[in-house]
Chains A and B, each alone.
Chain A
Amino acid sequence: DSGVTQTPKHLITATGQRVTLRCSPRSGDLSVYWYQQSLDQGLQFLIQYYNGEERAKGNILERFSAQQFPDLHSELNLSSLELGDSALYFCASSVGANTLYEQYFGPGTRLTVT
């Protein structure tokens, strides 16, 4: 158990809808990272927050957004969903802002768009 929790575990929704994925980092960790894992794209970095502020952006679509709250949990919002958004979404946390710190991954949220 990494100490990172993600909810929900599974999510099935229709095209055009909007969903919110939630992540609670390990106690004491200030950074939260979001990743998307799909069969065709592999594991891709989406975005990082550190202590409430956006720190780095990867291949995140404009339809997607994220935020980190004062209690350090984070939410990833996916809107106008398309079939291609079906994937496993991972959250990871680390103690520092820099990616040299070990990242601890949650179990993931499996999103299926029908």
Chain B
Amino acid sequence: AQSVTQLDSQVPVFEEAPVELRCNYSSSVSVYLFWYVQYPNQGLQLLLKYLSGSTLVKGINGFEAEFNKSQTSFHLRKPSVHISDTAEYFCAVTLNTGNQFYFGTGTSLTVIP
């Protein structure tokens, strides 16, 4: 069975501080990993994805994530957050068969001025 665990449900951080949102997955087969962001009252938007190749993936809005196979993690990082980064962040995994998505429970990031 596949599952995605986002370890922190809420992360408050001061403006211009760095942030890391944690994501761990479990799967018996190869997976592909994604981070989506949901701004208030909007749908989800893709931040970045890991399919293969370099384990450090850069996405939009200055976010990056590192795939760590041995630790089955795909943590999201940003070196300096802005007020506009306040949103809900979802980690997601899909199997190498590519026919179903599993989302984590989300991490609510609040950037404090």
Interface residues of A (CB under 8 A from B): 2, 4, 33, 42-45, 48, 55-56, 58, 90, 92, 97-100, 102-103, 105-108
* Interface size class of chain B, counting residues whose CB lies under 8 Å from the partner chain: 20 to 34
Q: How far is the CB of B86 from chain A (nearest CB, A)?
A: 18
Is B51 at the interface (CB under 8 A from chain A)? yes
- Which residue of A is nearest B44, CB measured? A105
Name the 5 nearest CB pairs between A and B, nearest first: A105-B43, A98-B98, A43-B103, A99-B94, A56-B99
Q: How far is the CB of B91 from chain A (nearest CB, A)?
A: 11
Chain B residues with CB under 8 A of A4:
43
B46-76 contacts to A (CB < 8 Å): 46, 49, 51
Q: How far is the CB of B88 from chain A (nearest CB, A)?
A: 10
Q: How far is the CB of A99 from chain B (nearest CB, A)?
A: 4
